[in-house]
Amino acid sequence: MNRLIIIGASGHGKVVADVAKLNGYEDIVFLDNDPSIHSCAAYPVLGPDTMTAELQGDLFIAVGNSGTRKRLMERDKNRYFPLLIHPAAVVAEGAEIGQGSVVMAGSVINPGVRLGKGCIVNTSSSIDHDCRVGNFVHVSVGAHISGSVIIGECTWIGTGAAVSNNVNICGECMIGAGAAVVKDIDIPGTYVGVPVHLVKKG
């Protein structure tokens, strides 16, 4: 069966569906917990995310919140979560990317990168050589990660943010839009500014 069940009938879900179609999925359906939503990108919304047990097909979690992606992938851990890569993305040979991740158009993943499961590498972002990116990380639109960076699980790198080379960022962090990370971050929380400073502990 060439069916993909996408959880999350949102703008992000629309983009995931487009990438999925370009990856060969012909039968695409959505699940969403908002009963007022009946379609997404012209694909049907069949019901709430609890319906996964009733449906056959591959699963993909198209939800921006990393904690929700983690919870839902762990709930259905025995199902197949595909890796979706847009044809207009550049992924180096030998780069490792975990299941349930999506790599959007115009993004670049360079040699030696190891990217965890359930990650989002968004439009026109980049991850340079030898980075280690944990599970459920979101690299937002136009964000750039320099070489040999380590990013912990469930961290969000905001739109247009930049991370200098050889920097370590712990898990459960939110890096604000346009921010610049130039030294290690070892306290979970929200960071903004150029260079970043902590504004809220996680």
Selection from 97, 118, 86 nearest residue 20 by Cα: 86
Q: Which residues contact 106 (CB under 8 A, 6 or more apart)?
A: 86, 88, 89, 123, 124
C-alpha to C-alpha distance for 113 and 96, rounded to whole angstroms: 6
Q: List the structure tokens of 150.
A: 């380590």
Strand 144-145 and strand 162-163: the pairing is parallel
Question: Residue 30 carries which side chain, given as an amino acid letter?
Answer: F
C-alpha to C-alpha distance for 131 and 113, rounded to whole angstroms: 5
C-alpha to C-alpha distance for 23 and 84, rounded to whole angstroms: 7
Catalytic residue among 12, 38, 86, 129: 129
Is 129 labeled as catalytic in the residue annotation? yes
Q: List the structure tokens of 198.
A: 């902590």
Which residues are identified as catalytic? Answer: 129
